[in-house]
Amino acid sequence: MLKEQILVVDDEEDILELVRFNLSKEGYRVACAATGERAVEIALSEHPDLIVLDLMLPGMDGLEVAKFLKNNPETRNIPIVMLTAKGEESDVVTGLELGADDYVTKPFSPKILGARVKAVLRRKAVDLEDDSEIVKIHNLAIHPGRREVRVGGRPVDLTFTEFGVLSYLVRRPGWVFTRSQIVDAVRGSDYFVTDRSVDVQIVGLRKKLGSAGKHIETVRGVGYRFREE
List, in order of start, the domains of the chain with CATH numbers. Answer: 5-124 (3.40.50.2300), 135-226 (1.10.10.10)
Question: What is the pairing mode between strands 140-143 and 148-151?
Answer: antiparallel
Question: What is the pairing mode between strands 50-54 and 80-85?
Answer: parallel
CA dihedral for 176, 118, 48, 39, sign (positive or negative): positive
Mean pLDDT of the chain: 87
Rounded CA separation 127/195 (Å):
26
The closest of 8, 218, 222, 2 to 113, measured between CA atoms, is 8
Rounded CA separation 103/157 (Å):
34
Query: Percent of the chain at pLDDT above 90?
Result: 52
Rounded CA separation 62/85 (Å):
12
pLDDT value of residue 83: 92
Binned at pLDDT 50, 70 and 90, residue 211 comes out as very high
Rounded CA separation 218/195 (Å):
14
Question: What is the pairing mode between strands 80-85 and 102-106?
Answer: parallel
| pLDDT single digits (tens) 11-37 | 999 999 999 999 999 999 999 999 999
pTM to 2 decimals?
0.67
